[in-house]
Amino acid sequence: MNTMKRCCTNELQLKHLKRELQVLLQQLQSDLDAERVEQRQEMSQLNRTEVLDRGEASSVVGLQQTSLSRIKQLEEEINECQNALERIEAGRYGYCEQCGEEIELNRLMANPTAVLCVRCQSKDELQRNGRSIKL
Ligand SMILES: [Zn+2]
């Protein structure tokens, strides 16, 4: 018995979102590849730091940290995309991971990788902000 109702996210919209996610995933993966190539170049530059003066060397290190965090971010986004595609396949897409309610369609259209409904998301963000304020 299927207890899940599909009133908002119909087949057509689901197909559209799936397509969006696949395009997004491809884009992210090519971004990641480009970023990795760039990072390798920076690494090889870093290995030659003895020929650079102090100022140049530290700017290369700075660049490398930027590209490392960019790579990490891309990997996370790719992960989110893959998760969303898996949820579509499993028929669990479009439901909040916390309360199980349907996620608003407008929200999914704007952010196809959303896993929380607006209510849970804002609760989550409030908690996060609360934590960072204490720091
Ligand atoms: Zn929720």
* In the chain, where the domains are located: 9-93, 94-135
For residues 119 and 63, which has the higher predicted lDDT (pLDDT)? 119
The Å distance, Cα 31 to ligand 1 centre, comes to 31
| Predicted pLDDT at 134 | 46
The Å distance, Cα 52 to ligand 1 centre, comes to 53
The Å distance, Cα 114 to ligand 1 centre, comes to 11
The Å distance, Cα 106 to ligand 1 centre, comes to 15
**DSSP designation for 113:** T
For residues 20 and 45, which has the higher predicted lDDT (pLDDT)? 20
| Predicted pLDDT at 46 | 72
Average pLDDT over residues 68-91: 95
- Predicted TM-score (pTM) of this structure: 0.74
| Predicted pLDDT at 1 | 42
Three-class secondary structure assignment of 56-100: HHHHHHHHHHHHHHHHHHHHHHHHHHHHHHHHHHHCCCCECCCCC
Host H or E run for residue 111: none
The Å distance, Cα 81 to ligand 1 centre, comes to 19
Percentage above 90 pLDDT, the chain: 54
| Predicted pLDDT at 54 | 67
- Checking if the pLDDT of 61 tops 80, the result is no
